[in-house]
Amino acid sequence: MNKATRRWALALLAAAGLVAQGARATDLCPAHTHTLAFFNGVWNTPDTAASGARALLGTLDEALRQHPARATFAVGAEVFYNASGLQRGARKGIEDLVEAFAQRAAELDDALRHRWELFWEIVDGRQDGWRKIAAVLPRAYDLAVALTEARNARLLADATSFAADPPTGIDYAAHRLRLRALHALGRGVLLVGHSQGNFFLNAAYRALPDPASLAAVHIAPASARINGPHLLSGNDLVIAALRGVVPGAPPPPNLWIPPSTRDASGHRLIETYLDADRNGRPAAGALMADGLLALKAPEPRASPGFFTATLAWDGEGDIDLHVLEPGGDHVHYGARLGASGTLDLDNTAGHGPEHYHATCDPQRLQAGIFSVGLNNYAAPAGRQAMLQIATADQGVVRTVQVDAGPPRGEAGDSSPLIVLRVAVARSGPAWTATVH
C-alpha cells in the first residue's frame, strides 16, 4: 500500500475516532466559539499584554449584554504578542510630565499648583490659555515654554520608537500560523490592535483566504492603513506625534476622551481607551460587538486540545508532524490516534498546516513528557518549518522555526527531529502544560 492510500485509509479511521472522542468529556478545554486576538502595542511585557486582552474581553462582554444573540457566543481572548519596545523601563515617557508640572509650578508660583487646565492646554498644544495666564503670572510663561519643549522631545522619542523596533518576520509568521490553526478549529476571530500592534494586525488580516471569518477593530492605530473601524482620541498625543514622523498619516481622530492624570499621553489602552469612567470604553465595546456579530465561523476541520501542536513550512513538499506521547505511543500520519491525542490534520501538498491535539478529557490525558517534532518526508532540502504550541488556557506559548533538513522518507519516521517538549503535570484536579 503506497503512502497516499495508506493515509486515506488511516484518515477514515481517525475521523471515526474523532467523532467518538468529540462526545466525551471536555473538562480541560473551554468551549469557545470565537476568539478575540489582541495585537499589543509597544512597551508591553507578556503580562501587560495579557492584562490588555482581559480588559478588552471584559469590555466586549459588557457590550454584548445588550444583544439577544449573545448566548450563542463563547469568546476567549488570546495575545498575538510582539516584543518590540521592551526598553520602556529604562526611559521616561510623557506621563512623568504630570509630576514635573506640579513640582515646577510649586517652585514658580503657588497659584499655579492646581491649574491643571493649564497643563492640559500645554500638552494638547492649545496655547491660548497659558498666554492669557502669562499676562497675569509672568513666570507661567517660562513654565509653559519648558514644558512644551519637553513634551515635543518626549513625544518625538515615543513616536520614533515605532520605527526603532521594527516588526520581525518571525512574529508575522507566528501570528499567521495561529490564525490558520484557529480557522481549522472553526473559530471566528475578532482581531483587535492597539498602537503599533495594528501593523501586526494588518499583516495577519491577509493570512486567510476566508475574510468572512475575520473582523478587525483598530484602537489608537499607528498605521496609515486599516482593515476595519478605528477608534482614535483627539487627545492621543503619541499618535498625533506620528504625523509627519513616519510615512503615511494615521486615520483621523473620531472621539474625544477627556484628559486624565492616569495617562498624560492619552494613548494607553487600559488607562485611557478602556477606562470605565470615560467614554472610550463603551465606544470600543460597541465596535468590537458589531464586528463579532458579523462574523461567520468556518466549518471545523480540527479539534481543540489541552495543548495543540501546529506545523507549517515555507513551500511545497511533504513534512510530517510527529508526537511521542508519555505512554509510548508515536502519533504521526501512520498512526494518527494515540492514547492521549490525535493527529487531525495531515498535509502532503505543502505549506501545512498539520495539527495534533492532546485530549481535553482528564480521564485520557497522560502526565509526562510529550516530545513534538517533524520528519521531512519529501520536501526539498532547505525548507524552513515552524512549530507552534498552544494551550487551552493561554493560547500560543511557544513558536520555533527550524531547518527541516534533507528529505528522509519513511526512514525518518522512526527518528523524527524533536523540536519541543511539553511537560504535562497533574496536581489534584489541576493540570498544567509547560513547554521546553
User: What is the C-alpha end-to-end distance of the chain, expressed in Å?
Assistant: 37
- The predicted pLDDT at position 261 comes to 79
Of 31-45, 181-195, 418-432, the least confident: 31-45
Residue-wise over 250-280: b if at least 16 C-beta within 10 A, else e? bbebebebebbeebbbbbbbbbbbbbeebeb
* Percent over 70 (pLDDT), the chain: 73
* pLDDT-above-90 percentage for the chain: 58
| pLDDT surpassing 80 at residue 434 | yes
Q: For 45-94, what is each residue's pLDDT tens digit?
A: 889 999 999 999 999 999 999 888 777 789 999 999 987 655 444 444 44
Higher pLDDT: 374 or 99? It is 374
Task: Write out pLDDT tens, residues 351-404.
Answer: 999 999 999 999 999 999 999 999 999 999 999 999 999 999 999 999 999 999
Question: What is the average per-residue pLDDT within 254-281?
Answer: 92
pLDDT tens, position by position, 223-258:
888 999 999 999 888 788 777 555 567 899 999 999
Q: 292 — phi, psi (to 5°)?
A: -65, -45
Determine the Cα–Cα distance for residues 389 and 434; give it in Å rounded to an integer: 10
Residue 307 CB contacts under 8 Å (≥ 6 apart), including other chains: 357, 358, 370, 389, 390, 391, 392, 422, 424, 433
Compute the mean pLDDT over every residue in the chain, rounded to the nearest whole number: 82
| pLDDT tens-digit readout, 134-176 | 555 555 566 666 666 666 665 555 555 554 445 567 888 999 9
Other CB atoms within a 10 A radius of the CB of residue 405 amount to 17
A 10 A CB-CB count for 81 gives: 22
Q: State the pLDDT at residue 8.
A: 47
Domain spans in the chain, listed from the N-terminal domain onward:
3-29+304-435, 34-85+167-293, 96-164
- For residues 197-206, give the mean pLDDT: 89
- By CB neighbour count within 10 A (0-12 exposed, 13-18 middle, 19+ buried), where does 427 fall? exposed
Task: Place 263 in a pLDDT band, splitting at 50, 70 and 90.
Answer: confident
- CATH for the 34-85+167-293 domain, from 3.30.1490, 3.40.50, 2.120.10, 3.30.70: 3.40.50
Which pLDDT belongs to residue 88?
A: 44
Residue 416 has pLDDT above 90, yes or no: yes
Q: Are 4 and 338 in contact (CB under 8 A)?
A: no
pLDDT top residue among 111 and 383:
383
**Which residue intervals of 216-313 are DSSP H helices?**
237-242, 280-293
**pLDDT value at 18 more than 50:** no
Provide the grid cell at 371: 516530545
The model's pTM: 0.81
The total number of residues shown for the chain amounts to 436
The answer to whether residues 301 and 184 touch, using CB atoms and an 8 Å cutoff, is: yes
Neighbours of 207 (CB within 10 A): 17
Look at residue 4 and tell me whether its pLDDT is greater than 80.
no
At residue 138, the pLDDT reads: 57
Beta strand pairing call for 330-331 and 188-194: unpaired
Beta-carbon-side half-sphere exposure of residue 186 (alpha carbons within 13 Å) = 11
Q: Rounded distance, CA 291 to CA 357, Å?
A: 29
